[in-house]
Amino acid sequence: MSSADLTSERDLPPEREATTRGDLVPERDGPRDTGMDDASLHRWLARTWRTPPGIIGALSSVDHKVIARRYLITAFLFLCLGGLNAVVMRIQLSGPQRGLIGPDLYNQLFTMHGVTMMFLFAVPIVQATGIYLVPLMVGTRNIAFPRLNAFSYWVYVSGGLFAWVSFALSMAPDVGWFAYVPLSGPEYGPGKRADVWAQMITYTEVSSLAVAVATIVTVLKQRAPGMSLDKIPLYVWALLVTSFVVVFAMPAVMITSTFLILDRLVGTHIFNPAEGGDALLFQHLFWFFGHPEVYIIFLPATGMVSAIIPAFARRPAFGHLGLVLSLIAVGFLSFGLWVHHMFATGLPKLGASFFTASSMLIAIPNGVQIFCWLATLWDGRPVIRTPLLFVLGFFFTFVIGGLTGVMLASVPLDLQVHDTYFVVAHFHYVLIGGSVFPLLGAAYFWFPKITGRMMSERLGRWHFWLAMIGFNAAFFPMHIVGLWGMPRRVYTYPAELGWGNINLFISAGAVLFFLSFVLFAFNLVHGALRGAPAGDNPWDAGTLEWATSSPPPSYNFARIPVVTNVEPLWAEREALAVATGLRVDARELIISTVAEAHPDIREKSATPSIWPLLAAIAVGGTFLYSIFTPWAIVWGAAPIAITLIGWFWPKGDPEDEE
Amino acid sequence: MKRFASIAFGTATALFLQGCAGWQSALDPKGPAASELAWLIWFFAGLCAVVWVLVMIALAMPLMMRPREPAEPLVLDAGADNRKLRVVMTAVGLTAVILIGLTLLSFFANRTLAAIGSDAALTIRVTGHQWWWEVRYEDATPSRILTTANEIHIPAGEPVRLLLTSTDVIHSFWVPSLSGKLDLIPGHMNVLDIKADKPGVYRGQCAEFCGAQHANMGTFIIAEPRAKFDAWWNDQLQPAAAPMSGEAKAGEDLFLNRPCVMCHKIGGTPAGGTVAPDLTHVASRQTLAAGTLTMSRGNLAAWIADPQGVKPGSHMPVVDLSGDELNAIVAYLEGLK
């Protein structure tokens, strides 16, 4: 460790750049930040890093904060749409044999609810939070591959629009978010509905993979000098592990959806048992992605919890190393559990028992995390503000979800509750309790950083209690009605089974829960317009994102901080040491070494460009067209090639200096 | 607040009591497999509840404490952290012990379940269709092989082996008061052994989403004493009853000359379709359209006149019939006991 030699105002590596290519390309070196006074430094950096004005400029933006804000708002809109789906379903189910909607619409609704919540809300929003926060938390000026990041947003939006326009045209998928064959296959899934599912998956996975790659490289190569592996904030660790899980899990579902569309479009019979294919193969491929998917959504939320608790418990997280190792262990183990979604398919009993054991095993690292957080809180009464309230709500609900998860891990027990409302209750406790509650806490926690204003604490408390009561009223009774024999994905049920009253109660809870989000939306808008000014660090938290102004300038940090502690702002109360030597007339970043975060080279970060948008349109158009004909790949190749050539066209800049 | 709590508690209790009367409930076991599973569910749930309460106590403790001294957050009490480390390690160790225990429990429960049907004498092949169940009783004597639909008669107190498969999409066979569920997958054959302790009617329904009418794909297991079951089997092997009245005779002619005959079979008549339920003894069944309607003259008429209204998306087409024709067909079917 060498933070000692990174003294304040120390210059970055010696001026070797002149010798690297100097003989051939005359070096056009510009002004550096070394010794520059603050006012002119701000002027220079603001001009260098700004998003260009005008509509074209806005569409060309590669600023991670701009992209992340768009992602967050879009994902929140999809959350509202998915929530509305749920409310309509709950009204239909509020009594036996209700005729509000028929099976055709109901099946589209629950499919769109699942698809929207998983692919258009949960994964994008946790990644978007990472896009916003990771570069700030590691002390760099932009995410790695900023144009790829911009591209990912446009692909995501086109995928979401594609799905919801299909829904508006009543051609939304109606085969469930898991779209099992043969129901989604060419024979039993007529029309374009299952194709919409398959291609919509492809859109969102492309986008998600792009963000994962950018996040991994940002964390591994762009950390502020001194932020060695042991000083990376837990939230950043969580995003790093999540991104690796994305990289290994998403290809499985892309293969699944591609095989499906090949079966449907060109008749490959990969999943057709009548022609030697196999329907169960689909499930294996899907759940090999599908289970890690849960952790893709959950792990970033644990990172949020690990960020919020220390700020309000007024101490660093207890068991930092244990928490990091748990994250990594969960990341690995999440790939060994997929069969527990398939216990009812009649797999050999001994084989299935191994997956019981592995599913139980993952409870241990998750338990370690829970215990470490509790131990962090044990130093005395924490400061109870809305973000922490939601974290307490997270404990209350997620632990229930985790424990019912232990129940589901048991093969015989699962055979009674699989595909019943018990499972619906379980995964909503895991996903809402485990991920949405931390996300809401995170929204209150980081809102001041993003907007420069505080959200209302009073409304926040109302929001919390409304959400807690609504959520538990809606989802807890589902455990019971599931054990009473009510299966999932039914658009109605007979009166004589006696599920009417409890379903009415559930529906009332669901409406209450939905209203809590209306209140939240109001609080967001109210906070953005009227909230009290927040200042740089309203919670007196310890990580780097609080070192810059709120909202952060386009260049994040005027001078790149030097990190000496896992909570640098607590360690350096006066002023952070900074590293200098970066050019201010070009978008320069410090690239540091993977383990020790020694400043290594200066690297240019990409400038704004409209090409990512054009490339996304070309790619999106090709995907869309491909649900109609395989020739789409041929016709689409040309525009994709053109836009990619435009994107990567050499600019004639001098090669990046060492 | 108190009033609200008492109302909430009252509602919860009422809801709970209401459900215990269910005839499709995992908590109301009527066979050895479901009993074993209900015990397992209660044990797991109880243990999980205890763990949850302990975690909540651990969470509530700091909320009761004095606020932390406004010290610098990085100034930590090393001794306290060491004590916490021991507590955390103990908790992790206990978690591991509990999880190993539950894994073993689950493993042995699975063995118990596997042993239930080891001496099953009766084999029934259940084939899933969108959205009904084809039920075929296997027998060494070909003339005793019996095909019916949706309702599965079994001898009470004897293990029965079900062979599960599907001809279209994936379904899942689930009668919670008797056993856990198992999927019916095209191209695969699954084996589920069930046993009902006492005579009775146990409802089940498809548990794997299978399309438009997944919600209305019910089934009934009707457990009867052995003698009654044998008599039922013999009755079902008989060809369809000849129409007794003129109207019913007209109904039979209509049935045989209209599209009905393309899909349905009625033993003893030229009707031999196999893509829809066998109607040879349809009137002896308790329900129509896989548990959607109870069997009655009115419901038969409703189902034939408006299948897409009763069960939207079902594969039963609307056949254009006049009122008299409809009545005649219903009169005929009603006689097929």
Per-residue pLDDT reduced to its tens digit, A529-550: 999 999 999 999 999 999 999 9
Q: What is the pLDDT of residues B155-183, one digit of tens each?
A: 999 999 999 999 999 999 999 999 999 99
DSSP secondary structure of A328-386: HHHHHHGGG-GGGG-GGG---HHHHHHHHHHHHHTHHHHHHHHHHHHHHHTTSB----H
Name the pLDDT band for A17 (thresholds 50, 70, 90).
very low
Residue B73 pLDDT = 87
Cα B26 from Cα B8, distance rounded (Å): 25
| DSSP E strand boundaries for chain B | 122-129, 132-137, 146-149, 151-155, 160-166, 171-173, 182-184, 190-194, 200-205, 218-224, 287-288, 293-294
Q: Which residues of A touch B68 (CB under 8 A)?
A: 313-315, 379-382
Q: What is the pLDDT of residues A403-444, one digit of tens each?
A: 999 999 999 999 999 999 999 999 999 999 999 999 999 999
Q: What would be the CATH architecture of the domain defined by B122-237?
A: Sandwich (2.60)
Pick from A367, A415, A477: CB nearest B181 = A415
**pLDDT of A27 above 70:** no
Tell me the fold of A57-530. Answer: Cytochrome C Oxidase; Chain A (1.20.210)
Amino acid at B111: R
B332 CA: distance to closest CA in chain A (Å) = 28
Residue A654 pLDDT = 59
Of all residues in chain B, the percent with pLDDT exceeding 90 is 84
Residue B107 pLDDT = 93
Contact call for A316 and B19, based on CB within 8 A: no
Q: What is the pLDDT of residues B189-241, one digit of tens each?
A: 999 999 999 999 999 999 999 999 999 999 999 999 999 999 999 999 999 99
pLDDT, mean of residues A191-211:
93
Contact call for A498 and B44, based on CB within 8 A: no
pLDDT, mean of residues A341-361:
91
Q: What is the 3-state secondary structure (H, E, C) of A546-615?
A: HHCCCCCCCCCCCCEECCCCCCHHHHCCCCCCEEECCECCCCEEEEECCCCCCEEEEEECCCCCCHHHHH
Q: What is the pLDDT of residues A468-518, one digit of tens each?
A: 999 999 999 999 999 999 999 999 999 999 999 999 999 999 999 999 999
Domain boundaries, chain B: 25-62+81-116, 122-237, 246-334
pLDDT, mean of residues A323-347:
95
Contact call for B208 and A419, based on CB within 8 A: yes
Cα B283 from Cα B333, distance rounded (Å): 7
Contact call for A346 and B27, based on CB within 8 A: no
**pLDDT of A10 above 50:** no
Domain boundaries, chain A: 57-530
Q: Which residues of B touch A488 (CB under 8 A)?
A: 207, 209
Cα A534 from Cα A385, distance rounded (Å): 15
Predicted interface score ipTM higher than 0.90: yes
**pLDDT of B17 above 90:** no
Pick from B48, B76, B180: CB nearest A415 = B180
Poorest-pLDDT segment among A102-106, A377-381, A517-521, B88-92 = A377-381
Cα A160 from Cα A203, distance rounded (Å): 8
**pLDDT of A18 above 60:** no
Amino acid at A167: F
Say if A7 is an interface residue toward chain B (CB within 8 Å). Answer: no
Residue A228 pLDDT = 95
Q: What is the largest CA-CA distance in chain A?
A: 88
Identify the residue among A326, A339, A406, A546 best suited for mutation to test binding to B, counting B beta carbons within 10 A and taking the highest: A406
Pick from B66, B73, B205: CB nearest A315 = B73
Name the pLDDT band for B69 (thresholds 50, 70, 90).
confident
Poorest-pLDDT segment among A7-11, A205-209, A243-247 = A7-11
Contact call for A356 and B87, based on CB within 8 A: no
Name the pLDDT band for A110 (thresholds 50, 70, 90).
very high
Are A179 and A198 within 8 A, CB to CB? yes
**Residue A608: C-alpha distances to residues A44, A57, A151, A644 (Å):** 17, 8, 12, 15
Q: What is the mean pLDDT of chain B?
A: 91
Question: On the CB side of A600, how many CA atoms lie within 13 Å of its CA?
Answer: 13
Identify the residue among B112, B214, B216 best suited for mutation to test binding to A, counting A beta carbons within 10 A and taking the highest: B214
**pLDDT of A303 above 70:** yes
Q: Which residues of A touch B34 (CB under 8 A)?
A: 416
Amino acid at A545: E
Are A144 and A113 within 8 A, CB to CB? no
Domains B122-237 and B246-334 share a fold: yes
Residue A313 host element (H or E): helix A279-313
Residue B118 pLDDT = 82
Residue A225 pLDDT = 95
Contacts of residue A652, defined as CB under 8 A and 6 or more positions apart, other chains included, come to none
Residue A547 pLDDT = 94
Residue A655 pLDDT = 55
Residue A468 pLDDT = 97
Q: What would be the CATH architecture of the domain defined by B246-334?
A: Sandwich (2.60)
Token pair 């309509």: residue: A88
Residue B237 pLDDT = 95
Tokens representing B160 are 């029965």
Pick from A319, A371, A410: CB nearest B102 = A410
Contact call for B62 and A378, based on CB within 8 A: yes
Amino acid at A617: I
Nearest CA in chain A to B40: A413
Q: What is the 3-state secondary structure (H, E, C) of B269-291?
A: CCCECCCCCCCCCHHHCCEECCC
Token pair 């689930």: residue: B174
pLDDT, mean of residues A648-657:
67
- Cβ-based neighbour number of residue B46 at 10 Å: 10
Pick from A377, A406, A492: CB nearest B48 = A406
pLDDT, mean of residues A622-649:
93
- Cβ-based neighbour number of residue B233 at 10 Å: 17
